Structure 1
C-alpha cells in the first residue's frame, strides 16, 4: 500500500516497471516531478449524487481518465504529491474502487524522493482529469468502498460508525465552507481529524494509527464510513485505517456538501 522513497529509487534502478502518477496541480508537475511521471487530477471531481447511479458515473469518470494516460500493462501505479495530503490517498482509493487494482502510495511524496537522492525533471506527456465529460457509466469494481447517502442515513452504530475527518471547527459548526447550505455534522459522527494521521509529510506508523483510531472511538470490528467536505480528506483517513488493520472501510463521497444540501436530513452541531 505504501512505498518509501529509498525503496522506490532502488526498485526502479533494478528494472521494475512503475507508473508514476503525479496528482498535484498540472503546473507543479510541469515544473518539476519524478522522471517520467504522468499527471492525473483526482482532486476536483465531485460526485453528483452518492447513490448507485452517481457512483457508476464516478467509476466511469476515473476509468476514462485512467485510459487516457496509456499506462503500460504490468506497470505498478504509484500515486504521489508533494507530501502525503488529501490527493495521493484519493488517487489510490479511486484505483481500488473503480478498477479493483492494486497500487502504491509514495510515503512522503516528492519531498521524500528528493531527500532519497531522486532527481526531478519537468513533467511532460500524458495528463488527464477525472471528469464526467465523455465518460460512460461503469459499475465500480469494489462498490463497498463508497458508502451511499442512504447508508449514511441508516447507519446503525452497532455495526457501522461515521467518521468526520474534517477540522474541529467544521465538526462543531463554527466554520462552514461557502458552498455548503448548512453548518454542522452528520448526527452520530465521531471526529478523527485527518491531519492527525500524518507527521512530517508521511503516514504515522500502523501502531500509532491504530491507537489514534481507538482513542477516537473506532474499532476494526465495525464498518467505518469516513466523510469530510467533498470526499478527499476522508480518503486519507480511510488509507490510514487500512494501514491500522481495518478491513471494512468506505468513503461517503458526497460528504457534508451533499448532506447539507438536503434540508430534510438531520444535523448536529456544538461539542459532544
Structure 2
C-alpha cells in the first residue's frame, strides 16, 4: 500500500493547488486524461499499466493490463535493456491481445515516467507509432483528477493474428553512428542523464567520467512537472532550441543504459525532430577505446 499512499498524497497536493489542467496540443504521441475517459471502453483499446507489478493490485485503470518493459527487453553482448528480437516482440504483442487494429495506450503506474517512454520507443522502433500513445499524467494524474480505479484483473485474450512489425534502423543508433554524429553539424547527441554525470563531477562505476564528446544535456526529469504532467509545449521546445537545435537537426539521445534516453527521444518526436536512440548508451561507450572520446564539464 505504500506506493498507493504516495500517489494519494500527490493527488491531494494536486487538488489543493489545482495544477493539473490538461493541454490541447498533444500531437501524435500523447493523449489527455479527458480523451482516456471518453475512450476507455473502446473495443479496440489495449491499455497497459507500465510499472512494478506490485503497484497493479493497489488500483489501476479499468481494463488495464500490467506490464514491465523489462519483460520485453533483452541482454545482448554484455549490455542490458536492449531492444528485443522482432519475432519475440511480435509474440508478446499477440499474447497481450494486440493486433493491427488496436489502439495502444501506455500509462505510468508509479512515480517514474521513464519506463513508459522506453516502451513507447520500443513500439515506435518496430513501426507502430500510429497505434501507440502515452497518457499524459499517468496514474498520478488520474488519481489527481479523482477518476475511478479498479482492482479487477481483466481477462486477456490473445490476438487471432500476429502483428507484422517493421523495424526501423532510422530510429536506432549504434556506436559507429555516434562517431558519425560527432562529425555532423546537423546531428546532435543529447545526454539525458543528470548534470552530475554529464559534467563528470560524479563518475559512478564508469572508467571515464563526463559525457560523449559533442553531446549536450537535457535531463530526462525536466520533461514533466512536479505533478507528473508534461510541461507546456513552449517550455519543452525551449529545452531543445536552447541547446542550438534547429527544425532540421537530428537528435540522438543516450543515458546510462537506454532507458531515460527514451524520454528525450520521445519528446524530440513529439516536437517534430527526427530522432534516434543510442541503445548501448554510456554503458557501452565507456568500455570503448580512446577514439570514442569523452568530455568533462558543461
* Shorter-chain TM-score tier: 0.7 to 0.9
Deviation at residue 149 of structure 1 after TM alignment: 1.5
- Paired residue for 2:45? 18
Unpaired segments ≥5 residues, structure 2: 1-28, 157-163
Report the number of matched residues.
256
Provide the C-alpha distance between the structure 1 equivalents of 2:51 and 2:74, rounded to a whole number of angstroms: 17
Deviation at residue 87 of structure 1 after TM alignment: 1.2
Deviation at residue 63 of structure 1 after TM alignment: 2.9
- Paired residue for 2:37? 9
What's the CA shift string for 1:129-156, capped at 9, x where partnerless? xxxxxxxxx9852221111221012212
Question: Taking structure 1 as reference, are residues 12 and 72 closer, same or farther at Cα in structure 2, changes over 3 Å only?
Answer: same
Match of 1:224 among 235, 251, 256: 251
What's the CA shift string for 1:214-267, capped at 9, x where partnerless? 112222212110000111111111111222221x10110110011112234433
Question: Taking structure 1 as reference, are residues 59 and 172 closer, same or farther at Cα in structure 2, changes over 3 Å only?
Answer: farther
Aligned alpha-carbon RMSD (Å)? 2.7
- Paired residue for 1:121? 150
Kept after mapping to 2: 8 A contact 1:32/1:120: yes
What's the CA shift string for 1:29-71, capped at 9, x where partnerless? 2332112211222147355259xxx76x544443333223223
TM-score (norm 2): 0.76
Kept after mapping to 1: 8 A contact 2:187/2:250: yes
- Paired residue for 1:266? 292
- Paired residue for 1:207? 234
Provide the C-alpha distance between the structure 2 equivalents of 1:126 and 1:69, rounded to a whole number of angstroms: 10
Deviation at residue 177 of structure 1 after TM alignment: 4.0
Kept after mapping to 1: 8 A contact 2:173/2:252: yes
The reply to whether residue 148 of structure 1 matches residue 177 of structure 2 is no
Unpaired segments ≥5 residues, structure 1: 128-137
Q: Secondary structure at the match of 2:193?
A: coil
Kept after mapping to 2: 8 A contact 1:149/1:254: yes
Deviation at residue 8 of structure 1 after TM alignment: 0.6
Match of 2:185 among 158, 175, 189: 158
Runs of 4+ in 1 over 6 A off after TM superposition: none
TM-score (norm 1): 0.83
